[in-house]
Amino acid sequence: MSTVPQSVLERRPAEGIAKCEVPRCPACESARRRQRTTVREHEYANSTTDAFPLMECLDCGAWYLSPRPDVSALDVIYPPNYYVYVLESKSGGDVDAARRGLFSRLASRLFRKRIRPIAKYMGLTAEKTRLDIGCGNGSVLEAMRDEFGIVGTGIDFSEQAVAHCRQRGFAAHACRFEDYAPEGGETYDLVHSSHVIEHVESPLAYMQKAFELTRPGGLNVFITPNTATWEARWFGRHWGGLHVPRHWTLLDPQSARRLGERVGFEHLETCFSTNGTFWTWTFHSLTLPWLGRRLSDALFPSDHRFIESSLWNIARIAAFTYLDKANCLLLGQSSNMLCIFRRPTE
Ligand SMILES: [Zn+2]
């Protein structure tokens, strides 16, 4: 059952929200670009009806929205039923009950698989220090503790998210990553984020900050969508990884590598994993004009309802997960990539 009030679901979508021009590529600062397409929100009926041009950088290959929503419009493009907020509120009351949910268990299992390649480059043991950027309700911190025994620290701009991390027993700070300044200039063995870099204003500033916070010899690891896949090219404005208007910069293995190397990191590896959610969003966008919102939402739920532990949600995600596994096996990549960098020892 959805815990979202009806008044939130019936909120009228905004038109003509505040936007800002992005004249240069947010990943490499080049002004050379072309417009790939124009994309509209389809996942949340109570967000915005505006269209957003999707640019492609002709130097590094990154895709970015320009104009993109202004930060003053964040509460419009992240409506109160945004799935991350719903996940956070679910884990607020009874942490153990939230953890036992079928969706939570499946997500945690998939995530533990995704992060295993990190162990090739660093002996991951309990003494290692780790920072999780955009820690949300602490499920990633928990997965890292369960997989490797590392008790990390979290940062998130949501006070509610930070409170839930603390409830799960982790140290957590409520601030923007760019403003985070640990006491005594502390650095970490592992700086990690999952699906954060594509949401930030400046991926370059993000990576510079990540470099400062990574100990020499330590690792910086992030998970982000990969635009180099056949489905990202084939489905165009319908591709679920676009998550418009919330994903502001999208990378491929080459642009991600360039971005890391530009701030001083050594690139170690880019690995690929499954992401059934992108497929759900792709099919939602494709079917919406033909089936209408009610039917399309029921078959391919794209808003907070895709995280509900229903049999259909689990079956669909399982099917799409196998589709991505086949992608990885046959083509060597998927729409979900894990980029691993090392800060050189000085
Ligand atoms: Zn670029």
Report every protein residue that has its C-beta within 5 angstroms of ion ligand 1.
Answer: 25, 27-28, 30, 57, 59-60, 62
In 10 A of CB 204, how many CB atoms?
A: 19
Residue 277 Cα to ligand 1 midpoint, Å, equals 27
pLDDT given at position 109: 79
Per-residue tokens: 18: 């505040």
Instruction: Quote the ligand 1 centre to 192 CA distance (angstroms).
Output: 23
Distance 338 CA to ligand 1 centre (A): 19
Per DSSP bridges, beta strands 51-57 and 63-65 are antiparallel
CA 22 – ligand 1 centroid, Å: 12
Q: Cα(255) to centroid of ligand 1, in Å? A: 7
C-alpha span between 186 and 33 (Å, rounded): 39
pLDDT tens for 129-181 read 899 999 988 888 888 888 888 888 999 988 888 998 898 889 999 998 888 99
- Reference 242, options 185, 296, 182, 286; nearest CA is 286
Q: How confident is the model at residue 99, as a pLDDT? A: 62
Helix (H) or strand (E) holding 37: strand 33-40
pTM, whole model, 2 decimals? 0.93
User: Residue 160 has what pLDDT?
Assistant: 85
pLDDT score, position 201? 95
In order of start, what are the domains of the chain with their CATH numbers?
Answer: 81-342 (3.40.50.150)
**From the CA of 185, how far away is ligand 1's center (Å)?**
31
pLDDT at 2: 54
The token duo for 318 is: 């399982």
Residue 279 CA to ligand 1 centre (angstroms): 26
Q: Does the N-terminal peptide bond of residue 67 adopt cis geometry, omega within 30 degrees of 0?
A: yes
Low-confidence ranges of the chain (pLDDT < 70): 1-2, 91-101
Q: What is the DSSP letter of 176?
A: -
Q: How far is the CA of 249 from the centre of ligand 1 (A)?
A: 10
Q: In sequence order, what DSSP letters do the residues of 264-332 get, joined into one string?
A: TPEEEEEEEE--HHHHHHHHHHHHHHHHHHHHHHHHS--SGGGGS--HHHHHHHHHHHHHHHHHHHHHS
CA of 258 to the centre of ligand 1 (A): 9
Q: 58 CA distance to ligand 1 centroid (A)?
A: 7
Interval between CA 27 and ligand 1 midpoint (Å): 5
- 25: CA distance to ligand 1 center in Å? 5
